[in-house]
Structure 1
Amino acid sequence: MTEPRYDRRGDGPVLLVVPGGAGHPMGLGPMTDVLAERFTVVTYDPLGLAHGRLGEPVADQRVEEWSDGACRVLEEVLDDGESAYVVGFSSGAIAALDLLARRPERLRHVVAHEPPCVGVLPDGARHRAMFREVYDTYRAAGPRAAAARLGAGLTGQEPGETVSDRPLSREEELADPMALFLAHVVRDFTSYAPDPAALATLSDRLTLAAGSDSRGQLLHRTAEFIAGRTGAGFAEFPGGHVGAGEHPVAFAERLVATLATRDAEGRARTA
């Protein structure tokens, strides 16, 4: 078992950030700059891609491995009696849901932004098949073609003509975080089924989130569905699926406000 990789900055309550994709925190720096003014921001890097491991062999990933690693990070950074906020994005949001369901002891509140665990939906089998097709397209035609298929699936469009591309060599794949996501993350994570009963018992510590630009799209619908099924909160954030990178300041401010609101609601319930 490798030691978990993470970066720590700022001061205040601990906020664990779990990136999406293959876990590389690229693009999240401007948002964490803002958050570090209020929190001790701990950015988890599940595969160590930003910590010298990009280019090294990668195995197929499992949700439970990411959430167990996140738990080890919290054990390292939290003092006795402390609890942490968590925000997860996409595949990282799935890991955050699993962390809350299995290891809730030191979690103060979890915000899961557009987790692609689409199997929960009434038509989930069709959408899981779409993600398997994304993987197959990647293996057959390369990352550009797979990204085009993924974009069509998330927005509800019919797949267009296959983008001209080529499969990557093993060396090229290992050097590309998006390719690692397509090769080793997308199948298992989008097949993950969250535990609604466990999450329902912890609904006061959970907010499902989706981008305002994602309304009508697959992952907005997924987040709303999980919130409704578990009794958790639901909040819209600026931008779309990658809103944290598109609108980092506004996204950070919305996250701060969401956590403050849920804290206030928790205090009111216990008063």
Structure 2
Amino acid sequence: MSTTHTLDIPGGRLRYHVRGSGPLLLLVGAPMDAAPFAPLAEELAGEHTVVTHDPRGVSGSTLDDPDQDSTPDLRAEDALAIIDALGAESADVLGSSGGAVTGLALVTRHPTRVRTLVAHEPPVLELLPDVARRRAEVDDIIETFRREGPGAAFGKFMATAGFETGEDAPPPPPSESPEQDLADAAHFFLHELRGTTRYVPDVAALRAGPARVVVGVGADSGGLLTYRTSQALADLLGAPPVVFPGEHGGFVDRPKEFADVLREVLAR
């Protein structure tokens, strides 16, 4: 069972959900909203106060200016605002995909407010040796959205991410209506994708602590671009990535098994 709350932030409002009791744990996505994290949150609510939220400009988290870009730094401040609203000194954070980049920014900007960050498959393309090619692919995906709309753009996005033809890939961010789906897609392609993938982690700050940063990868993600970016970040941080069940969205497909691994990581 969860309770739903709204929180005013500069230029907008966040919608977030709270389950359980115990030490605070944030489950953070981008562009994914709160809904796909619900099964994992239920698994963990017996020992944690688990918070999920819609990132700025997505689903129930609205912006006064819909054309405002969503950067990892802004999303990090949103996460901190939720921690503050709950009266917590610090939190554990699981960030997935773009939410993992949010978590990296949060640790960099506010290292004393995070106990452990598990960065699950962050798309930090700037760490790759073929970054020029990857930037061009992102730019092409965005232009495809402008020319041809969300279907063609998501097709290119999934292909460049490494999903094979016919393979089940994560769907576009779920929402509450076709109109919201279109708005969320526009937000992702026009105002979020470039800023997230061009974020450069401050490795020195991440290694300096006091927050512990753990990189996670899916056991079945070996063919994905986010496997490469995760391995690159883990190498820079000096520790091998932790292997979680499933692929990029393992927490959606296998929430119980994913929760078991996350518990082990947080208990270390």
TM-score range, shorter chain: 0.7 to 0.9
The CA deviation string for residues 104-130 of structure 1, in whole angstroms up to 9 with x for no partner, is: 112110001111111111222211221
Q: State yes or no: 1:243 paired with 2:250.
A: yes
In the other structure, the counterpart of 1:207 is 214
Q: State yes or no: 1:5 paired with 2:12.
A: no
Bigger radius of gyration: 1
Match for 1:30: what amino acid?
Answer: P
In the other structure, the counterpart of 1:265 is none
CA separation of 1:24 and 1:259: change in aligned 2, threshold 3 A: same
CA separation of 1:55 and 1:144: change in aligned 2, threshold 3 A: farther
In the other structure, the counterpart of 2:204 is 197
Shift of 1:52: 6.6
TM-score, normalised by the number of residues in structure 2:
0.83
Matching of residues 110-189 of structure 1 within 5 Å: 110-155=117-162, 172=179, 175-189=182-196
Shift of 1:93: 0.7
8 A contact 1:244–1:251 mirrored in 2: yes
The CA deviation string for residues 125-156 of structure 1, in whole angstroms up to 9 with x for no partner, is: 21122112111111111111111111111118
In the other structure, the counterpart of 2:66 is 57
* Higher helix content, 1 or 2: 1
CA separation of 1:103 and 1:181: change in aligned 2, threshold 3 A: same
Shift of 1:172: 4.0
Identity among equivalent positions (%) equals 37
Distance 2:159 2:226 in 1: 12
CA separation of 1:251 and 1:179: change in aligned 2, threshold 3 A: farther
CA separation of 1:173 and 1:42: change in aligned 2, threshold 3 A: closer
Matching of residues 227-242 of structure 1 within 5 Å: 227-242=234-249
Match for 1:236: what amino acid?
Answer: V
CA separation of 1:113 and 1:236: change in aligned 2, threshold 3 A: same
Q: How many aligned positions are there?
A: 246
Distance 1:5 1:215 in 2: 34
8 A contact 1:15–1:84 mirrored in 2: yes
8 A contact 2:126–2:199 mirrored in 1: yes
Greater shift in the superposed pair: 35-44 or 147-156: 147-156
* Higher strand content, 1 or 2: 2
Distance 1:233 1:124 in 2: 22
Shift of 1:55: 11
8 A contact 1:135–1:182 mirrored in 2: yes
8 A contact 2:111–2:210 mirrored in 1: no
Q: State yes or no: 1:71 paired with 2:96.
A: no
CA separation of 1:122 and 1:156: change in aligned 2, threshold 3 A: farther
User: How well do the aligned residues superpose, as a CA RMSD in angstroms?
Assistant: 2.5
Distance 1:43 1:200 in 2: 26
Match for 1:242: what amino acid?
Answer: G
In the other structure, the counterpart of 2:170 is none
The CA deviation string for residues 42-80 of structure 1, in whole angstroms up to 9 with x for no partner, is: 11323264437499835221111100111111122244x
TM-score, normalised by the number of residues in structure 1:
0.82
8 A contact 1:57–1:174 mirrored in 2: no
CA separation of 1:177 and 1:234: change in aligned 2, threshold 3 A: same
CA separation of 1:57 and 1:210: change in aligned 2, threshold 3 A: same
Match for 1:255: what amino acid?
Answer: L
Shift of 1:203: 8.2
CA separation of 1:148 and 1:50: change in aligned 2, threshold 3 A: closer
